[in-house]
Amino acid sequence: MTHLTQESAPVLEALNRYKSMRVVPFDVPGHKRGKGNRELTEFLGEKCLTVDVNSMKPLDNLCHPVSVIKEAEELAAAAFGARHAFFMVNGTTSAVQSMVMSACKRGEKIIMPRNVHRSAINALILSGAIPVYVNPGVNKELGISLGMSLSDVEQAILENPDAKAVLVNNPTYYGVCSDLKAITELAHKHNMLVLADEAHGTHFYFGEGLPASAMSVGADMAAVSMHKSGGSLTQSSLLLVNNELSEGYVRQIINLTQTTSGSYLLISSLDISRRNLALRGREIFKKVGEMAEYARAEINQIGGYYAYSRELINGDSVYDFDVTKLSILTLDIGLAGIEVYDILRDEYDIQIEFGDIGNILAYISIGDRILDLERLVSALSEIKRRYAKDRTGMLSQEYIRPQVVLGPQEAFYAESEPTPLDQSLGRICGEFVMCYPPGIPILAPGEKITAEVLEYIKYAKEKGCFLTGTQDSLVNKIQTVKE
């Protein structure tokens, strides 16, 4: 194999070689480099369609890479400080599921915070692994979930010495980090694997002065959303593997659910973005951090909003904070985050990442400009002037401690019946209910439906949150396990 450096982009180079060969395609995809679907070619461009190709010898195969994809994965592993990197084309959802399913078999336990993304709980439904939930800390003023406290993780480990793994969000959607290094050392002492959901932490590997990345503290696996802060195409992601985990076994687990028709648009975007971050990541994320700090200072001057940052750090449940995240509390202007989110989009043509009951998150990354941030700041200032009202009656509690009655797999596949919200109190939920984004379940299969949960669901509906996960698209009914 030729000596590769981070300047190389093996997949990109192979695709360019392939394009110059003018091969006659008697293989799939059927659009035949765009010739068979003019409208699509006009919409996406010929350059795009000519590289939407099938796996073949010169281009390697994502299911079992032996040449250019293998080289590109090795470069990604080196760039992220991992022993191995897998290119994922079914999103970080698939990376999270592959992590959980590599670590746990049916009936085995995994310790995790309850404010995980739905993909982690989906992995439990698929595999039959059993969650041991650690309730995250909660900041009552902000109404947000924090990280896991080290003593809570230790208690869960001591009470469940047979657990196979500990899963940690690094960071949470809002930018909050647990003490990943201490949790990793503790779990390893008890022969448990450490899995990190780094969907929102790609930049930790390249930026300076940012929280520790999973690989840097010796965690075993990490799911990294290259398409979020790393600049690759939507749905492309990395699964990083460290330590003594078997690369071959993990690839077999990935191949249980990942497509056999890996998209070269996604694969090449991972290769190109990795090269960009390896060569320029430090300066890119320095700029992103500075833009976020600028916006925070401007927003906090408006009054009524609170854009929070490292002042939240408490050494435990907020061990560190990701300063590139622009998370803003809106409750003091009397508006739920989702209401500010809707006004920004409908009246100012500004699309932010999400709004929940009390906060909004503007995602700042590689492609933003100060000019755009100034527009966001002035829109928020105007929204306060035009819409602010008294905050009485605002709900702020973002995290509700679940009462787990059945394992997720058992509950999801149990016989269930549609039950009107008002009649579901006290029953066991057989499906998910969540606001999307961020896609963290309010209810997961196997949890008891309490008065607090129902109040939250009704309030979220009233405020205009996009509720998902239920069979009933209007979320007037919940599937409950037949008693």
The per-residue pLDDT for range 202-220, each reduced to its tens digit, is: 999 999 999 999 999 999 9
Verify that 122 and 181 share a domain, yes or no: yes
CATH number of the domain bearing residue 445:
3.90.105.10
Spell out the residues 6+ positions from residue 102 whose beta carbon is closer than 8 angstroms to its own: 221, 245, 249, 250, 253
8 Å CB contact between 97 and 126: yes
Verify that 238 and 177 share a domain, yes or no: yes
The string of pLDDT tens digits covering residues 417-449 is 999 999 999 999 999 999 988 889 999 999 999
Last residue of a domain, one of 387, 419, 443: 387
Q: What is the pLDDT of residue 398?
A: 73
Verify that 68 and 192 share a domain, yes or no: yes
Sign of CA dihedral 117, 122, 125, 127: negative
Mean pLDDT of 389-410: 89
Number of domains the chain contains: 3
Verify that 238 and 315 share a domain, yes or no: no
Last residue of a domain, one of 275, 292, 317: 275
Residue 18 lies in a domain: no
Verify that 170 and 245 share a domain, yes or no: yes
Range of the domain at 351: 279-387
pLDDT beyond 80 at 2: no
pLDDT beyond 70 at 1: no
Verify that 152 and 246 share a domain, yes or no: yes
pLDDT beyond 80 at 92: yes
pLDDT beyond 80 at 168: yes
Q: What is the pLDDT of residue 372?
A: 96
Spell out the residues 6+ positions from residue 153 whose beta carbon is closer than 8 angstroms to its own: 111, 134, 166, 183, 186, 187
The string of pLDDT tens digits covering residues 329-381 is 999 999 999 999 999 999 999 999 999 999 999 999 888 999 999 999 999 99
Verify that 250 and 286 share a domain, yes or no: no
Report the alpha-carbon distance of residue 483 to residue 474 in Å, rounded. 24
Residue with tokens 């998910």: 432
Residue 10 lies in a domain: no
pLDDT beyond 80 at 34: yes
Verify that 259 and 110 share a domain, yes or no: yes
Residue 51 lies in a domain: no
Specify the amino acid at residue 156.
Answer: A
Instruction: Please report which confidence band the pLDDT of residue 393 belongs to, taking 50, 70 and 90 as the band edges.
Output: confident
Residue 113 lies in a domain: yes
Residue 9 lies in a domain: no
CB atoms within 10 A of CB 244: 7
Q: What are phi and psi of 28, to 5 degrees?
A: -85, 160
Q: What are phi and psi of 448, to 5 degrees?
A: -80, 140
Instruction: Please report which confidence band the pLDDT of residue 474 belongs to, taking 50, 70 and 90 as the band edges.
Output: very high
pLDDT beyond 90 at 21: yes
Residue 11 lies in a domain: no
- SS3 at position 441: strand
CATH number of the domain bearing residue 370:
3.90.1150.10
- SS3 at position 368: coil
DSSP code string of 5-63: -TT--HHHHHHHHHHHTT----SS-TTTTTTT-HHHHHHH-HHHHHT----BGGGB-TT
Q: What is the pLDDT of residue 399?
A: 83
Least confident residue range of 237-251, 258-272, 305-319, 384-398: 384-398
Last residue of a domain, one of 275, 304, 333: 275
Residue 395 lies in a domain: no
Verify that 201 and 330 share a domain, yes or no: no
Report the alpha-carbon distance of residue 415 to residue 412 in Å, rounded. 8
Verify that 267 and 295 share a domain, yes or no: no
Report the alpha-carbon distance of residue 328 to residue 358 in Å, rounded. 9
Whole-model pTM: value is: 0.96
From 79, 50, 57, 59, select the one nearest 11 (Cα to Cα): 59
Q: What is the pLDDT of residue 347?
A: 98
Verify that 353 and 429 share a domain, yes or no: no
Mean pLDDT of 389-403: 86
Verify that 344 and 253 share a domain, yes or no: no
Q: What is the pLDDT of residue 260?
A: 96
8 Å CB contact between 114 and 402: yes
> Where in 137-250 does DSSP place strands (E)?
138-139, 144-145, 165-169, 176-177, 193-198, 221-224, 237-241
Share of the chain above pLDDT 90, in %: 94
Euclidean distance between the first and the last CA atom of the chain, given in angstroms as a whole number: 61
The string of pLDDT tens digits covering residues 231-272 is 999 999 999 999 999 999 999 999 999 999 999 999 999 999
DSSP state, 399? -
CATH number of the domain bearing residue 140:
3.40.640.10
Residue 283 lies in a domain: yes
Degrees (nearest 5) of the Cα angle 18, 24, 26? 110
Instruction: Please report which confidence band the pLDDT of residue 396 belongs to, taking 50, 70 and 90 as the band edges.
Output: confident
